[in-house]
Each structure stands twice: as structure tokens, then as C-alpha cells.
Chains A and B, each alone.
Chain A
Amino acid sequence: NAGVTQTPKFQVLKTGQSMTLQCAQDMNHEYMSWYRQDPGMGLRLIHYSVGAGITDQGEVPNGYNVSRSTTEDFPLRLLSAAPSQTSVYFCASSQTGGRNEQFFGPGTRLTVL
């Protein structure tokens, strides 16, 4: 099993550009989520999904869109990148939400100029 995979590993964008961060898992997990990690802030939940076709907002959803058309994939879209979105983004999955272990991908380091 590959676990949770994320692409790309690194990305540089200009302000106003759009892009999609890809996330896939092969563990048949129902719950998937996106976090951003900034220095001194820990990880903050952006969006999450409890199953295909179901998504919900987390702590910091503004400027990001998600969709969940399959169990395996959970892409994160930046519609119009801003310098404040410079961060490291992590995708995670777990069997279900709540108290289950979350498995994290290796992260995407995004810089917005």
C-alpha cells in the first residue's frame, strides 16, 4: 500500500493564479482532510470529508475548494492564490472521523509570490 500520496511536493505560484493540490489514499478510508501548517500555529483544518460526495468546512476554509467524487481522491483547489496561502499543506485520511488514527501524506510546500 502506498498510503496517502500528495502531488506536487513543491509549488511556486504567482498571486492570482489557481492550482489544484492532489491527494489520494489506497486504504479505503472514508474520512479525508486537508490541513495547512504554519510556523508556531500547528496544523489547521481547511476542509474535510466523511465520504464520497460529502464535504464540510474546517477551521480555515476561505480561499479553498474541495470535492470528493471518489473514496480515493480528495483534491484541494486554490481559486486565486494569495501570499497568505504560502504554507505547507498536508492531506490525511482515517477509517472514519473522530478518534481514529489519521494517516498523513508527505506534504506540499506552496509558495505564493
Chain B
Amino acid sequence: TQLLEQSPQFLSIQEGENLTVYCNSSSVFSSLQWYRQEPGEGPVLLVTVVTGGEVKKLKRLTFQFGDARKDSSLHITAAQPGDTGLYLCAGATGNQFYFGTGTSLTVIP
């Protein structure tokens, strides 16, 4: 049973388009992290959100933590080919992290 579900699983868009990735759960998390992973490498942290309703911006990326701390979204504005990769959300409960199923994003020049 997957604790965190991500959608969509695959996304292929043209450069310049906007997109949103969703991370949903029925469980409450103390914090929610977003990672990006390149082929053959380990995930790298993009952001951590800890407060329900929190919004964080990282250049063209906007992250939101749901009010009930059960879900999160990642919005990318004007996607670029360099945004291509696997995006993973991860919820923390105590000392355990539960990762989402991942969203594979391809941005076509």
C-alpha cells in the first residue's frame, strides 16, 4: 500500500508551458519534502514545507502544503528543458519518510 500517491505519473510538455504535480495522502505528515532525481543519481532536495497552508517559491517552482497537512502540490511556471527529471514527494512521520510514486517530467525544447 502506497501512503503517498502522485499524479500524474508521466508528463510530457512543451517548453514554456505551466504544469502542476499533485501529492495526496489520507495520512497527516509533520513535514513534506519535494525531491528531484536525475537518471543514475540519488534524489536531491528542492524544498521542505512544515506548516499547513504553507507556500514556498523557488524561482519558477511553487510548492504548497495542504491545510490539513495531508497533501501537497508543485507548480512549475514556464517549464524549461532543464526541469526534466523525476519529481518525488516525501512525507515525514516521526523518523520515517514515505515517498510518493514519482512524476516523470519531460520538457520538450
Interface residues of A (CB under 8 A from B): 4, 31, 33, 35, 40-45, 48, 50, 56, 58-59, 90, 92, 97-99, 101-102, 104-107
Contacts and interface: CB of A to CB of B under 8 A. Distances in A.
A107 B48 contact: no
Contact of B42 (A98, A99, A101, A104): A104
Contacts of A40: 9, 101-102
Given A42-B4, A99-B50, A35 B95 contact: no
B98 A45 contact: yes
Nearest to B88: A42
B99 A98 contact: no
Contacts of A58: 96
25 contacts: A31-B95, A41-B2, A42-B2, A42-B4, A42-B88, A42-B99, A42-B101, A42-B102, A43-B88, A43-B99, A45-B96, A50-B95, A59-B96, A92-B42, A97-B92, A97-B94, A97-B96, A98-B30, A98-B31, A98-B95, A99-B33, A101-B45, A102-B90, A102-B97, A106-B42
The winner among B9, B50, B90 for most chain A CB atoms within 10 A is: B90
Report the 8 A-B pairs with minimum CB-CB distance, sorted nearest first: A104-B42, A97-B95, A99-B31, A42-B99, A43-B99, A101-B45, A42-B101, A42-B102
Contacts of A33: 97
B2 A90 contact: no
Interface of B: 2, 4, 6, 9, 30-31, 33, 40-45, 48, 50, 88, 90, 92, 94-102
Contact of B95 (A42, A48, A104): A48
A107 B38 CA distance: 12
A102 B99 contact: no
A113 B68 CA distance: 45
B52 to A, nearest CB: 14
B23 to A, nearest CB: 10
A99 B2 contact: no
B75 to A, nearest CB: 20
